[in-house]
């Protein structure tokens, strides 16, 4: 049924406008020259006081917001300039935020007839904005940390590399790719970190498929935080690279590697213990890591995670034990 006094076409347009207001969570208010509300469309359901017709104050707002809105409306009616502000509606412990745009309503001659106000619920948009700002700060912080790690790796690789620039680049690229693959795992988890076993598989996959039954992963599978993941991944890279070139994971090695993660306790707090147990065939002398690789395992990684480590080389065997303190992982 068309509205009284309106054509069917005008009624259809009104229905379309009403639908658009509802779908966009927008409310339209009109006030006459005395600032009395004479039209209210699509007032939000959670507005505490919904009966505004015949009123001059938007009841339901806090005293400060109500007065601010009233002052802005009076200013628009006086000077004819649009105003934009935000108001917050509280109900118990929750609140909704609205953008308020106040425009003058004039007749054909430009004389003021009242004001038109639109309210747009921007609560979710503002929450997304805050979340995005927080995320960008987090990305910036982690990027700076990662760049600091890359710079340190580059400097230490150069300091402990002998021979040609090609030798330096080969070692540096390997370590850079190790950090990159770990960073991919961290990013995929929304910056939580990465599971220990996924980290081991990722670093092993970079050097190729080891001989059958040469590698076994045992124990727990904790979630390493972003910082621990990057540094533990770097330690695993050094161990895996050495084992694939000279040790149990090389074709000549004919040995085996057991990697395990265990939970222990130190000073009343839970710690994660990573163990690397590498053994080659009898009679083969195990090759220790290059100087920087040893530095990574014994100093850089344990210091970076706030833990401690033990790296040992014996004929036919390499052992590494890294203790990662609480706060760097989740059980």
Nearest to 52, CA basis, from 72, 32, 76:
32
Question: Range of 281's domain?
Answer: 179-330
Q: 235-267 burial by CB neighbour count: b if 16+ within 10 A, else e?
A: bbbbbbbbbbebbbbbeebebbbebbbeeeeee
Strand positions, DSSP E, 10-139: 26-32, 37-41, 83-91, 94-106, 112-121
Distance CA 95, CA 107 (A): 37
**Among the three residues 82, 104, 121, which one is the final residue of a domain in this structure?**
121
- Indicate whether 129 belongs to any domain: no
Return the CATH number at 270: 3.30.565.10
- Indicate whether 117 belongs to any domain: yes
pLDDT of residue 258: 96
pLDDT of residue 282: 60
Distance CA 85, CA 100 (A): 5
SS3 content of the chain, % helix, strand, coil (to 5): 40, 30, 30
Distance CA 44, CA 56 (A): 18
Going across the sheet that includes 112-121, the strands are 37-41, 26-32, 112-121, 94-106, 83-91
- Indicate whether 159 belongs to any domain: no
> Same domain, yes or no, for 304 and 184?
yes
- Indicate whether 193 belongs to any domain: yes
Q: Residue written as tokens 């070692």? A: 171
> Same domain, yes or no, for 309 and 207?
yes
- Indicate whether 38 belongs to any domain: yes
- Indicate whether 2 belongs to any domain: no
Q: What are phi and psi of 62, to 5 degrees?
A: -65, 160
Return the CATH number at 29: 3.30.450.20
CA triple 313-319-324, angle to 5 deg? 130
> Same domain, yes or no, for 237 and 324?
yes
pTM of the model: 0.64
> Same domain, yes or no, for 116 and 259?
no
> Same domain, yes or no, for 110 and 211?
no
> Same domain, yes or no, for 189 and 297?
yes
> Same domain, yes or no, for 102 and 196?
no
> Same domain, yes or no, for 186 and 106?
no
pLDDT of residue 292: 72
**Among the three residues 71, 106, 121, which one is the final residue of a domain in this structure?**
121
- pLDDT below 70 — which residues of the chain? 1-6, 9-11, 14, 20, 46-51, 59-60, 91-92, 160, 163, 252-254, 281-290
Count up the domains in the chain and report the number: 2
Structure tokens at 255: 């040995």
Residue 93 · residue 79 · CB < 8 Å: no
Strands 308-314 and 317-324, by their bridges, are antiparallel
**Among the three residues 84, 105, 121, which one is the final residue of a domain in this structure?**
121
> Same domain, yes or no, for 102 and 232?
no
Determine how many CB atoms are found less than 10 A away from the CB of residue 102. 22
Q: In which element (H, E) is residue 273 found?
A: strand 269-279
> Same domain, yes or no, for 276 and 198?
yes
pLDDT of residue 297: 93
Q: Residue written as tokens 């309210």? A: 119
Distance CA 281, CA 181 (A): 31
């Amino acid at each position: 049924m068309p509205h009284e006094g309106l054509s069917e076409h005008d009624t259809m347009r009104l229905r379309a406008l009403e639908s658009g207001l509802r779908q966009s969570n927008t409310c339209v208010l009109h006030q006459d020259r005395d600032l009395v509300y004479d039209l209210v469309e699509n007032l939000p359901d959670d507005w505490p006081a919904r009966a505004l017709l015949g009123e001059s104050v938007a009841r339901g707002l806090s005293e400060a917001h109500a007065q601010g809105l009233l002052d802005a409306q009076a200013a628009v009616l006086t000077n004819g300039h649009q105003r934009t502000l935000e108001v917050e509606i509280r109900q118990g412990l929750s609140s909704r935020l609205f953008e308020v745009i106040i425009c003058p309503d004039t007749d054909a001659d430009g004389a003021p007839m009242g004001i038109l106000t639109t309210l747009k619920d921007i609560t979710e948009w503002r929450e997304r904005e805050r979340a995005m700002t927080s995320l960008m700060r987090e990305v910036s912080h982690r990027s700076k940390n990662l760049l600091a790690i890359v710079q340190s790796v580059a400097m230490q690789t150069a300091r402990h590399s002998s021979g040609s620039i090609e030798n330096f680049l080969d070692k540096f690229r390997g370590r850079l790719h190790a950090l990159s693959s770990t960073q991919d795992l961290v990013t995929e988890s929304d910056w939580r970190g990465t599971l220990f076993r996924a980290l081991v598989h990722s670093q092993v996959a970079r050097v190729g498929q080891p001989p059958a039954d040469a590698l076994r992963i045992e124990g727990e599978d904790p979630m390493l935080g972003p910082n621990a993941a990057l540094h533990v991944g770097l330690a695993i890279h050094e161990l895996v690279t050495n084992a694939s070139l000279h040790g149990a994971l090389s074709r000549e090695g004919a040995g085996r590697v057991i990697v395990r993660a265990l939970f222990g306790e130190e000073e009343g707090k839970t710690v994660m213990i990573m163990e690397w147990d590498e053994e080659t065939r009898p009679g083969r002398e195990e090759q220790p890591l290059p100087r920087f690789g040893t530095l990574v395992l014994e100093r850089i990684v344990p210091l970076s995670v706030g833990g401690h480590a033990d790296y040992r080389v014996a004929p036919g065997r390499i052992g590494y034990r890294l203790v990662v303190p609480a706060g760097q992982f989740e059980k």
